[in-house]
Chain A
Amino acid sequence: MTNCRQSSELSSQSLDRKLSLRQWLALKLHTAACPFCKRFGEHIAMLKNFCEKFGECGHEKQITNGLTPEARKRMKESLRGTAGK
């Protein structure tokens, strides 16, 4: 019998590769009977989805406004040096 530790590993791997038929069945059987593991599978799939959205432009505004004025200044100065060459 597949236990929760193994089932959660299979859940995770199913997001990264194709499981063998045997593994897929074992996962289905286990999650049908185990609410914890069923939720685990659902949650990590949701996280994958959230992360994809996070990687697309727009949402990142929540983590930072952007460059500090000092950083902006440093960059311009350095580019001015490079551009002159």
Chain B
Amino acid sequence: MDGTDQDPSGAAATIDPERWVDEHGDALYRFALIRLRDPERAEDIVQETFAAALHARAHFAGRSTERTWLIGILKRKIIDQYRKRWREVPATELAAGAEEDLAVQSMFDERGHWLQQYGPNSWSNPSSAIQEEDFFRTLHGCMGALPGRLADAFTLREIDSIPSDEVCQILGITPTNLWAMLHRARVRLRMCMEKNWFGREGSKP
């Protein structure tokens, strides 16, 4: 790198953004891909993260590892993107809420009891699932099959364990609204995982 050795603190001399790409690029990309579910958007946000880190490198105090510092920047960028996207929700997407609700309602009969084919079955070996190869690939696939709005709310709440009130603030929605969306997401995700993973070994009751 040229130019960086003129930094009097000497800090920049040890920071080489191209090395960042080699050392942290994959980890940051995976982190972003889980949360944004779109390879192109994930790549873009990682690039933005590196650029922001480059501008802010003087603030990197070495209190945390370089990886943690970069992930911190990426996390904030992802949340900002959620915030922005949810402020620009087109009207057609708002109408989608009613449809999502209908999909869940149709799993129950008129008295509100589970229809036989939608009733939860017992799961085979749930405790060893996470050690199995492909488990998270299946989970990620099922999350990708959720309507985007539901996946967003679910990701903030369950993947990043952000408290409900903060999720409401990020997405600009009411708690009642959030609870309803999370419920719809869970119903669908549960079904998908039962179908594609936990029901595999003939565990029907």
**Chain A interfacial positions (CB closer than 8 Å to B):** 3-6, 8-9, 12-13, 15-17, 35-37, 39-40, 43-44, 46-48, 50-55, 57, 59-67, 71-72, 74-76, 78-80, 82-84
Contact = CB atoms under 8 A, between A and B. Distances in A.
Nearest to B52: A82
B134 A13 contact: no
Closest 7 CB pairs of A and B: A66-B26, A3-B112, A60-B30, A5-B112, A39-B120, A51-B158, A12-B183
B69 to A, nearest CB: 14
Contact of B183 (A9, A46, A47): A9
B197 to A, nearest CB: 10
Given A12-B182, A52-B158, A82 B51 contact: yes
User: What is the interface residue range for chain B against chain A?
Assistant: 35 or more
Nearest to B126: A46
A17 B175 contact: yes
B188 to A, nearest CB: 11
A67 B25 contact: yes
Contacts, number: 157
Contact of B136 (A47, A60, A83): A60
Nearest to B190: A43
B43 interface: yes
B168 to A, nearest CB: 10
Contact of A82 (B26, B54, B159): B54
B124 interface: no
Contact of B43 (A36, A43, A71): A71
Contact of B179 (A8, A13, A60, A72): A13
A6 B183 CA distance: 11
B157 A50 contact: no
Interface in B123-156: 123, 126, 129-130, 133-137, 139-140, 154
20 contacts: A12-B183, A13-B179, A17-B175, A43-B194, A48-B158, A50-B129, A50-B136, A50-B139, A53-B130, A54-B140, A62-B140, A65-B26, A67-B21, A67-B26, A67-B29, A71-B25, A78-B51, A82-B51, A82-B54, A82-B55
B18 A80 contact: yes
A67 B193 CA distance: 27
